[in-house]
């Protein structure tokens, strides 16, 4: 993140050139410009800032965002052997496929309904965040 902030300070004008390297050294980055990493003094400063700020008042952010799962798609299951396939919308007009093992038409099943998480936890977290923001 500090590497990217160095680019922002430079307004992305010098890439990884001399100006970027100068900024990176001043803030405490070490190593080759393209792979600059926090030196010991910068690590200590960042840990101090982190302790002062406290825990992040939000759920963890996952990057990259999770890909959609097949759980939300229609499936077809063979009632004899239990073989299951995910059905694509592209082929749904053809109906359920034939089981490759038993050679019988599989039965379509709708995706299960996912229960919503307990909103009470979310409201407590929201109150904590509001309280933390209002203290500033």
Is residue 120 situated within a structural domain?
no
Q: Count of domains in the chain? A: 2
Is residue 32 situated within a structural domain?
yes
Cα–Cα dist 109/14, whole Å: 57
Q: For residue range 69-79, what is the model confidence (pLDDT) as tens digits?
A: 666 778 899 99
**pLDDT grade for 133, boundaries at 50, 70 and 90:** low
CB 6 within 8 A of CB 33: no
Is residue 59 situated within a structural domain?
no
Q: Does the pLDDT value for residue 42 go beyond 60?
A: yes
Q: Is the pTM value of this prediction over 0.85?
A: no
Say yes or no: 77 and 105 in one domain. Answer: yes
Q: For residue range 46-73, what is the model confidence (pLDDT) as tens digits?
A: 999 999 999 888 887 777 776 766 667 7
Say yes or no: 47 and 8 in one domain. Answer: yes
pLDDT of residue 128: 62
Phi-psi region of 54 (alpha: psi -120 to 50; beta: other; left: phi over 0): left
* Residue 105 belongs to domain spanning: 70-109
Q: For residue range 80-131, what is the model confidence (pLDDT) as tens digits?
A: 999 999 888 888 788 889 999 999 999 988 765 444 444 555 566 566 656 6
Cα–Cα dist 116/104, whole Å: 36
Is residue 136 situated within a structural domain?
no
Say yes or no: 43 and 6 in one domain. Answer: yes
């Amino acid at each position: 993140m500090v590497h990217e902030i160095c680019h922002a300070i430079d307004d992305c004008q010098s890439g990884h050139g001399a100006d970027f390297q100068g900024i990176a050294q001043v803030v405490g980055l070490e190593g080759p410009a393209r792979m600059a990493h926090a030196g010991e003094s910068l690590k200590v400063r960042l840990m101090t800032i982190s302790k002062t700020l406290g825990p992040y008042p939000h759920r963890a952010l996952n990057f990259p965002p999770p890909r959609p799962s097949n759980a939300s798609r229609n499936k077809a299951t063979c009632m004899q052997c239990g073989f299951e396939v995910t059905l694509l919308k592209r082929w749904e007009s053809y109906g359920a496929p034939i089981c490759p093992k038993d050679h019988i038409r599989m039965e379509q099943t709708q995706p299960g309904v996912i229960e919503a998480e307990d909103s009470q936890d979310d409201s407590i977290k929201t109150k904590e965040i509001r309280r933390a923001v209002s203290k500033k």
